[in-house]
Amino acid sequence: MTAASAAWWQRGVVYQIYPRSFQDSTGDGIGDLRGIERRLDYLTELGVDAIWISPICRSPMADFGYDVADYCDIDPRFGTLSDFDSLLTAAHARDLRVVLDFVPNHTSSEHPWFIESRSSRDNPRRDWYVWHDAAPGGGPPNNWISDFGGSSWEWDEATGQYYLHAFLKEQPDLNWRNPAVRDAMYEVLRFWFARGVDGFRIDVLWHLVKAEGFPDNPPNPAYRAGMGEMHRVQQLHSTDQPEVHAIASEMRRIADAYGERLLIGEIYLPIERLMHYYGRDTAGVHLPFNFQLIDAPWNARGLAAMIAEYEAALPPGAWPNWVLGNHDRPRIAAKLGEAQARVAAMLLLTLRGTPTIYYGDELGIGHVEIPPAQVQDPRELREPGLGLGRDPVRTPMPWDATPNAGFTTGAPWLPLSADWADRNVARLRKEPGSMLSLHRRLLALRRAHPALSIGDMALLDGVEAAPDVLAYERRHGDERLLVALNLGSAPQELALPAWARHARPLLSTLESAAAPSAERIVLRPDEGIVLARTSAA
Ligand code: NOJ
């Protein structure tokens, strides 16, 4: 691959915006599209290439936009279609791509399709959703459990049947076995592609098709109290059915018809099953989201094995991708602390493949305590106290030290992170050693060195003597870089491969990088470094 032949989404870095929490422009305490447009210069200065905006379509907000009532309109809380067009134009003028969230598995229960569907058993849209008679002895048709707890089936008194909802009862699942549903949803893709969007992140892609006959899911032997009720069963029959791949391919064909557009699939599956979403005989999505880093135990050997397994499993021609966090999962700095979150940022931005940065992670926002009276997330409200709530990772972006961190002139919809007065954009961008400055430097480094964006990667052998070090080489043309990450809190001495002796330090996660001696390098606690081969070596 050359810089010229690589697609924008292969070279580039994606930045996820949770729109309710990025920038409010109206004073209602909720972020909006004009707010995002106001902050575009921040994103170009940061150095990302694309933004993925979580759902902005018209929605009753039972699940904060993942319950869509009109796929072709903007929710008034976020603005209007013309605000969207303006944002898109402004982003494109800065060479920033815009990726939207597409929520195809379910609509809102207030979507006109569902209102029609539930109006009578013989309504022409009845079969657009998944309806089923009660089990022979009464009760739900099977044992499927909603991801937010409780049965996946909701009884509809008026028509005497159950409907399926993998998430809230306000999010009825569409019936993707019905060709009319497919056509209608493909029209939604075309609507936005024609408007100029650069791609979609497809919500719960692996959920779209359910097993014929709706058999019970098998119990999960690993289930323990406190895990969340959904884990009582394995989602064997309710997700990841073979027919979903044809649908992904149909979406891909539509995307390809508009030029260089991107489809990212949200898929939580083991590596081997995840790979099928790249497509087999026909192309699937460009990037089946790779969430391995989110759940991986944080140790060098384990991560090296996981990276090797993921790389080895990629089908020919498939492009990798990496994620450290999103609007559903705990923040990386909450999990690892800031020192290792810095190392994690270097990992994310130097691995082979497209990285996605979650808004606020570039500031190192950690865990945010949400007082019970301020909980908003339906997941927390349904299964409280298990630590599954997602409000802590959705708090407003702290821009500066003015009231409400410059996020809103009104009352923010969620509390701010406790340390916002210190940990905010205005403050951190002035500190050369801050988490934000580290991100900017990493992104600039990635842009300056094709080895990091499009180069090959090889994990380093012979690091047994430095058990906490994860090290790999990135290579493109004549350029050869070494990334060495100390995942522990003790110094680690690493013997350098012959080509990296006398290598030149390009960047350290700590203040300054120590030059290696000819043969070895000593990584300080929590230090990650990038070294470049000197022409002499
Ligand atoms: C996955 C999304 O990321 C999550 O936020 C949402 O609640 C569910 N899908 C349902 O759409």
Q: Is residue 450 part of a domain?
A: no
* Same-domain status, 126 and 240: no
- Going from the Cα of 66 to the center of ligand 1, the distance in angstroms, rounded, reads 6
**CATH code, domain carrying 512:** 2.60.40.1180
Q: What is the Cα–Cα distance from 337 to 392, expressed in whole angstroms?
A: 15
* Same-domain status, 509 and 528: yes
Q: What is the residue with the minimal CA distance to atom 11 of ligand 1?
A: 66
- Catalytic residue from among 32, 203, 361, 383: 203
| Predicted local distance difference test score (pLDDT) of residue 517 | 80
**CATH code, domain carrying 116:** 3.90.400.10
* Same-domain status, 58 and 81: yes
| Predicted local distance difference test score (pLDDT) of residue 461 | 84
Q: What is the residue with the minimal CA distance to atom 3 of ligand 1?
A: 328
Q: Is residue 511 part of a domain?
A: yes
Q: Cite the beta strand spans of 340-406 per DSSP E.
A: 354-358
* Same-domain status, 37 and 145: no
Q: Does the annotation mark 256 as catalytic?
A: no
The conformational region for residue 450 under phi > 0 = left, psi -120 to 50 = alpha, else beta, is alpha
Task: Identify which of 290, 313, 293 has the alpha carbon closest to the alpha carbon of residue 302.
Answer: 293
| Predicted local distance difference test score (pLDDT) of residue 537 | 46
Which atom of ligand 1 is least distant from the CA of 106? 11
Which residues lie below 8 Å from residue 340, measured CB to CB, with a gap of 6+? 298, 487, 526
Which atom of ligand 1 is least distant from the CA of 66? 11
* Same-domain status, 376 and 504: no
| Predicted local distance difference test score (pLDDT) of residue 134 | 98
pLDDT digit string, tens, across residues 378-422: 999 999 999 999 999 999 999 999 999 999 999 999 999 999 999
Q: What is the residue with the minimal CA distance to atom 8 of ligand 1?
A: 66
Which residues lie below 8 Å from residue 257, measured CB to CB, with a gap of 6+? 193
Q: Does the annotation mark 203 as catalytic?
A: yes
Question: What are 50's strand-pairing partners?
Answer: 14, 97
- Going from the Cα of 266 to the center of ligand 1, the distance in angstroms, rounded, reads 9
Q: How many domains does the chain have?
A: 3
* Same-domain status, 340 and 475: no
| Predicted local distance difference test score (pLDDT) of residue 109 | 98
Q: Is residue 195 part of a domain?
A: yes
Range of the domain at 499: 457-532
* Same-domain status, 247 and 276: yes
Q: Is residue 451 part of a domain?
A: no
Q: What is the residue with the minimal CA distance to atom 10 of ligand 1?
A: 66
pLDDT digit string, tens, across residues 287-302: 999 999 999 999 999 9
* Same-domain status, 67 and 156: no
Q: Is residue 276 part of a domain?
A: yes
Ligand 1 pocket test: pick from 20, 63, 165 the residue with the most ligand atoms within 8 Å of its Cβ: 63
- Catalytic residue from among 266, 362, 468, 473: 266
Q: Is residue 245 part of a domain?
A: yes
* Same-domain status, 123 and 14: no
Ligand 1 pocket test: pick from 167, 239, 267, 393 the residue with the most ligand atoms within 8 Å of its Cβ: 167
Residues of the chain with pLDDT under 50: 537
Q: What is the Cα–Cα distance from 496 to 500, expressed in whole angstroms?
A: 6
* Same-domain status, 38 and 183: yes
* Same-domain status, 88 and 116: no
Phi/psi for 45 (5° steps) reads: -65, -40
Give the CA dihedral 254, 257, 258, 260, nearest 10 degrees: 100
Q: Is residue 449 part of a domain?
A: no
Last residue within a domain, chosen from 407, 442, 477: 442
Q: What is the residue with the minimal CA distance to atom 5 of ligand 1?
A: 328
* Same-domain status, 152 and 189: no
